[in-house]
Amino acid sequence: MAKKKSAAKPAGDMDYPYLILVLLLLGIGLVMVFSSSYATAYYKNLPSAYYFIRQALFAAAGIVIMFAISYMDYRRFKILSPLLLIVSIGLLILVLFIGVGNYGEKRWINLGFTTFQPSEIAKVAVIFFFSSMISTYSEKMRTFRYGVLPFVLVLGTIGGLMYLEPHLSGAILIIGVGAALMFIGGTHWLWFAGSLGAAGAVGFIAINFIDYARKRVEIWFDPFVDPRGKGYQIIQSLYAIGSGGLLGLGFGNSRQKYLYLPEAHNDFIFAVICEELGFIGAVIVILLFVLLILRGYWIALHARDKFGALLVSGITTLIAFQTFLNIAVVTGVLPVTGASLPFFSYGGTALLILLAEMGVVLSVSRYIPAPKAG
| Positive or negative torsion for Cα 248, 252, 257, 259 | negative
Cβ burial 329-357 (10 Å sphere, 16+ → b, else e): bbbbebbbbbbbbbbbbbbbbbbbbbbbb
The mean-pLDDT minimum among 39-53, 203-217, 317-331 falls in 203-217
Average pLDDT over residues 91-100: 90
Q: Between the CA of residue 249 and those of 69, 245, 252, 288, 373, what are the distances in Å?
A: 40, 8, 8, 21, 53
CA dist., res. 181 & res. 147, Å (int): 11
| pLDDT for res 1 | 47
- Give this prediction's pTM: 0.91
In the chain, the amino acid numbered 273 is: I
| pLDDT for res 50 | 94
Q: Are 303 and 135 contacting, i.e. CB atoms less than 8 angstroms apart?
A: no
Average pLDDT over residues 226-244: 90
pLDDT band of 5, cuts 50, 70, 90: very low
Q: Between the CA of residue 308 and those of 6, 30, 66, what are the distances in Å?
A: 16, 30, 17
Nearest C-alpha neighbor of 266 from the set 151, 348, 166, 374:
348
Question: Domain-by-domain residue ranges, the chain?
Answer: 28-50+223-346, 72-209
